[in-house]
Structure 1
Amino acid sequence: MPSDEEVLLRKSVASISSRYGAPYFQRVVDERKPATELWNELAGGGFFGVHLPEEYDGGGGGLYDVAAVLEETAAAGVPALAAVFSPGVNGTILAQHGTPEQKDRWLRGLATGQIMSSFAITEPDAGHNSFNISTSARRDGDDWILNGQKYYISGFDEAEFAIVVARTGQDERSGRGLLTLFIVDTDAPGVSHQPLPTALQVPEKQSTVYFDDVRITPDRVIGAEHHGIRAAFAGINAERLLVSAICTGVGRYALEKAVAYASERTVWKAPIGSHQAIAHPLAESKIALETSRLMTAKACMLYDLGLDGGEAANMAKLTGVDAGLHCLDAAIQTHGGNGVALEYQLSNYWFLLRMLKIGPVSKEMILNFIAEHTLGLPRSY
C-alpha cells in the first residue's frame, strides 16, 4: 500500500499537472516553446528536486519519489522529459559524486529547478558502447582541453551547463576508453550546437553539440579522473527508472482515454467497449501496465537502499516502455481513425515512447544484460 506521504505527493502533482494537461502540452509543442509555466509551478513546489538532499535545497527523498512525480505528470498528459536529464540524471550524479563546492554551486539550482542542465554522452559512432566515445579531454597544465562532438543531446538549447562524458585515456589491457565527467557551461568559448530535427512532439529539443578546444578548470571535474563511468552510471540507472515512470504515466493517460471512449462510443446499438475485440486489448494493457509499475517501484526501492539495482533497473525500463506503448497502441486502435486525429491527443505521444524504446538503452542491450548477468549465459558482444 502507498504511504500517506506518497498519496499526498501524487495527488498534489496530479492536481497541478491536470490544470495544464494535453491541450497545453500540444500548444507548447506547436509553438516550439518549452513548457515553462508548468515547469515553474512544479519546480517552485519542490517536486522536481524531491529526491535531492535537503542541505542543497532538495526534498530529501529518493528516486522512488521523483519517479512518482514524473509518472503523475505524464498521466496528466504533460510528460516532463527535461526533469529526467536535469534534476534526474545530473542532480543524482552531483548528489552522489560531486564535491561540496560543486553541490553548492550547481546542485542547488537543479534541486529548485531554477537551473536547467543537459547530459552529453551519446555519439553517432559509439552507439551504446560508451567506452568507444571519441570526444576527448587532454591535460593542459591543471586544466583540460575538450574536443569532440555529441549527438542527440536533449535540452542543450535551454541548459545553463551540461555534464559531458569524455575520453581521458585508454586501458592498456582492454583497449577501452577511460572516461571522465566534466561540467561545461553551454555558452563557454568553443561550445556550439545545432538543432537535430526529429519526429518527436515534445517541448525539449534535440541537438548536435560541438566542443572545439574548450578549456575546463579542475573544479569542474566530477569524481575521480578516468573513473567517470561509475559516476555516470549513478545517473544512467536513475534515467532508466525515470523513463519507465514517464512511459507508464503516458500509458495510464492513454488507457483512461480509451476506456472513456469505449464506454461512450456506440456502434450497432452497443458501446464498443462491450465487444471483446476492443475490451481484451485494453485489459491486456492494464495488466502490462500494473506489472511494469510494480517492477519500477521495486527497482526504485533497491536504488534508494543503495543495493545493486542494475538488473531491476533494466527490467523496469524494458517493461515500462513496452507497457506504455501497448496502452497507447490499444488506445489509438480503440479510437479507430480518431486515434490519429490530433484533436484526440493520442498519436502525438507515439514517437516519444517509441524513441524511449531505443534510448537511453535499447531493448536489445537490456536483453544482452539479462542474458549475461542474470541468466549466466556467455557474453554475446
Structure 2
Amino acid sequence: MEHTPPSLARARAVVEVLEAAVDKAAAHLASQQPEENQTVAYDLAAISSAVAAAAELLDYGAGGRTEADLALLYAADVAADLAGRMAGRESLWGLDRSAMDGIAVHVATGRDPAFLERVAERVVATREAGPRHLSEELQLVRSTFRGFAEDRILPVADRIHRDDEDIPADIIDGLAGMGCFGLSIPAEYGGCAEGGADELLSMVVVTEELSRASLGAAGSLITRPEILGTAIARGGTEEQKRRWLPAIAAGEKLCGVAVTEPDHGSDVARVTTSAIRDGDDWVLNGVKTWCTFAGRAHHLLVLARTDPDRTAGHRGLALFVVDKPSFHGHEWRVTQDGGGSIEGRAIRTLGYRGMHSFEVGFNRWRVPAGDLIGMDDGLGRGFYLQMQAFANARLQTAARAVGVMQSALELAVNYTRQRPLFGRSLADYQLTRAKIARMAALIAACRTFAFAAARAVTAGGGQLEAAQVKQLACRAAEWVTREAQQLHGGYGYAEEYSISRLFVDARVLSIFEGADEVLALRVITRQLTKS
C-alpha cells in the first residue's frame, strides 16, 4: 500500500471539513436571499475559492514531502480564515463552530512556527513554491518563454514602469514570432490550439512566465488577443474567422478591448454606447474607459447597443471589431471621411504601465456591417460572447497574478538571504521564514488551481473555477507583494528596487477582468447557491 505523507493526511482531513462547511453555508445562504446578505455572501465566495484551491493541492501533495507540507500549511490557513470570518456570525453562516473541533490538532500542526520554518528552509534554498510537475512539453514551453523574458523583458521592465513608456517593438515582435498571440486560436486559423486537454494550460504557463518579468510590459499582451480571438472563434462567421484570426495569431494585428463605460463599470449589461444601422454601416457613438492597449491596437473589440430600447439590457448588445491605425504614446485621434472620429487619452495609473489604459470616445464612427461579429446572427449575442471570452481572460489574469507572486517571492528570498540584521541574515529569523512559507503556500495553491481550472475550461466547463481562481490569486498577489516589499524595508519603497513595481502592479489585478466584489456576488455566490 502506498504511503501517504503525514502532512497530506492531515491536509485531507482539514479540507473535508472545509468543503462540508462551504456546502452547508451555501445551502443556508440560498434560503436567506443572498442579495440581501452581501457581507456573508462575499466572505463565503472568498472562502469557497480558497477551499477549492486547497482541494486541488491534495493531489499535488501526493508528489512528495514538500508538496504535502504546502498542502497542509495552506489548508490550515484557510481553516483559520474561515474561523475568523465566521466568528460572532455563526447564525448568518448556518454553521456550528464545533464542526471545526475535530481538525483543531491538524490546523495547529499546519500553523506551528516550527513547521513553517521547515517549509521555508526549502523555499529559501530553491526560490520556488514547490515543484510544478509539468509535462516535458510544457516544461519546454516554460523554459523557452522564461529565457525570452529574462533576456528581453526584465532588463527594461523597471524603466518602462518608471517612465511610463510604450512597450518596445522588439518585445512585441519577439513574442509574435514565438506564437504568443495565437495560443488559444484554432490551428486551422493560424493559431496554436489543436483541441488537446492542455490547450489552455499552455497559455497559463506562458502568461505566468511573462508576468514574472513584467505585468505591464509583457504579461498582459496575450489577454487582449485572447478575448478578441475567443469572441470571433465562438461567434464569428466563417468568413470573419478567416479574415481576422490569422493576422491576430501572427501578431500582425494587435488588439484592444472597449467594453467598460464610465458610468457602468462592471455592469456590462447597461452599456450605452450606441450602434445605429445606416445603410451598409453601423454608426458608433459613446465613450469607453479602461481600454488597455487601445493606442497600439489595430483592432478594438467594442460592445455596443444596437437596440435603442435600453430596457432590452444584455439582449440588445452586439460586438464589433473596429479597425484603426496603431499609435504610440498617450494620446491619439483618427478621423474618417464624413467627420467620424475616435479619440484616445491614456489614464495615468499607479502601476500596470507600458500597455497604457485609455479612455476612448467614438463620435459618429462608421463600421462596415460585415464587422459585426456574427453579422445579423450576432445581434443580441454581444453580452454572451463577451462573457464567454472573459472566462478565458479571468483564467489568464489568475496566471498573471501567479507570475507576479513568483517574482515577488524570488526577490524576497534574494534580499533576505543577503541582508544582515543584528549579526544574522534576515532570512534566518523565524518571522521572515513564516512569511516566506506562507507566500510559497499561496503561490502553490493558486498555481495548482489555475492548472486545474485551465483543464476544466478546455473541457467545456470551468466557469466557476475560472472565477474562483481569479478572485483568489488576485487577492493573494496583493498580500504576497506587500509582504515581499515589507521584507525589503526602506528599499522596498524605492523605485530602483523592482519589488515596488510588483506591489503597485498587483493592486490592479483584483479590479480588472471582473472586479473582486462583482465576481464574488454575481458569479461565484450565484453558482454556489443555485438549486
| TM-score interval for Structure 1 and Structure 2 normalised by the shorter chain | over 0.9
Checking the alignment, whether the CA contact within 8 Å between 1:49 and 1:66 is kept in structure 2 is no
Root-mean-square deviation (CA), in Å? Answer: 2.0
1:143 is displaced (CA, Å) by 2.5
Match of 2:246 among 92, 99, 108: 108
Cα displacement string for residues 139-168 of structure 1 (whole angstroms, at most 9, x for unaligned residues): 223431111110111111111120100011
1:280 is displaced (CA, Å) by 0.9
Instruction: State yes or no: 1:59 paired with 2:192.
Output: yes
Instruction: State yes or no: 1:22 paired with 2:154.
Output: yes
Checking the alignment, whether the CA contact within 8 Å between 1:85 and 1:119 is kept in structure 2 is no
1:229 is displaced (CA, Å) by 1.3
Checking the alignment, whether the CA contact within 8 Å between 2:181 and 2:251 is kept in structure 1 is yes
Match of 1:203 among 350, 354, 358: 354
1:136 aligns to what? 274
AA matched with 2:221: A
Checking the alignment, whether the CA contact within 8 Å between 2:207 and 2:399 is kept in structure 1 is yes
Structure 2 distance, partners of 1:44, 1:175, is 41
1:94–1:177 CA distance, 2 compared to 1 (3 A): closer
Structure 2 distance, partners of 1:172, 1:246, is 36
2:316 aligns to what? 178
1:212 aligns to what? 363
1:306–1:335 CA distance, 2 compared to 1 (3 A): same
Structure 2 distance, partners of 1:209, 1:47, is 26
1:170 is displaced (CA, Å) by 6.5
1:148 aligns to what? 286
Checking the alignment, whether the CA contact within 8 Å between 1:67 and 1:245 is kept in structure 2 is yes
1:8 aligns to what? 140
- Give the TM-score of the pair, scaled to structure 2: 0.67
- Show structure 2 runs of 5+ residues with no match: 1-132, 325-333
AA matched with 1:250: V
Match of 2:345 among 188, 194, 200: 194
1:321 is displaced (CA, Å) by 0.8
Checking the alignment, whether the CA contact within 8 Å between 2:315 and 2:381 is kept in structure 1 is no
Instruction: State yes or no: 1:294 paired with 2:448.
Output: yes
1:229 aligns to what? 383
Match of 1:325 among 453, 459, 478: 478
Map of 1:215-364 to 2, 5 A cutoff?
Answer: 215-223=366-374, 224-307=378-461, 309-364=462-517
- Which protein is richer in helix relative to its size? 2
Percent identity over the alignment?
Answer: 30
1:93 is displaced (CA, Å) by 1.6
1:286 is displaced (CA, Å) by 1.0
1:267–1:323 CA distance, 2 compared to 1 (3 A): same
- Show structure 1 runs of 5+ residues with no match: none
Structure 2 distance, partners of 1:48, 1:14, is 16
Checking the alignment, whether the CA contact within 8 Å between 1:249 and 1:324 is kept in structure 2 is no
Greater mean alpha carbon deviation, residues 154-163 or residues 348-357 = 348-357
Cα displacement string for residues 260-294 of structure 1 (whole angstroms, at most 9, x for unaligned residues): 21122121221111112211112111111111112
Instruction: State yes or no: 1:371 paired with 2:508.
Output: no
Structure 2 distance, partners of 1:198, 1:233, is 26
Greater relative contact order: 1 or 2 (C-alpha under 8 angstroms, separation 6 or more)? Answer: 2
AA matched with 2:186: P
SS in structure 2 of the partner of residue 208 of structure 1 = strand
1:45 is displaced (CA, Å) by 1.4
Rg larger in structure? 2
1:48 is displaced (CA, Å) by 3.0
1:171 is displaced (CA, Å) by 7.4
Instruction: State yes or no: 1:35 paired with 2:168.
Output: yes
1:122–1:175 CA distance, 2 compared to 1 (3 A): closer
Checking the alignment, whether the CA contact within 8 Å between 1:286 and 1:327 is kept in structure 2 is no
Checking the alignment, whether the CA contact within 8 Å between 1:75 and 1:253 is kept in structure 2 is yes
- Which protein is richer in strand relative to its size? 1
Structure 2 distance, partners of 1:175, 1:51, is 30
Greater mean alpha carbon deviation, residues 180-189 or residues 78-87 = 78-87
Count, aligned residues: 376
Checking the alignment, whether the CA contact within 8 Å between 2:288 and 2:361 is kept in structure 1 is yes
Structure 2 distance, partners of 1:336, 1:160, is 43
AA matched with 2:322: V
Cα displacement string for residues 68-116 of structure 1 (whole angstroms, at most 9, x for unaligned residues): 1110112234652442443221122222222222222221121111211
Checking the alignment, whether the CA contact within 8 Å between 1:109 and 1:115 is kept in structure 2 is yes
Structure 2 distance, partners of 1:284, 1:221, is 48
Structure 1 distance, partners of 2:409, 2:270, is 40
1:367–1:338 CA distance, 2 compared to 1 (3 A): same
Structure 1 distance, partners of 2:519, 2:215, is 27
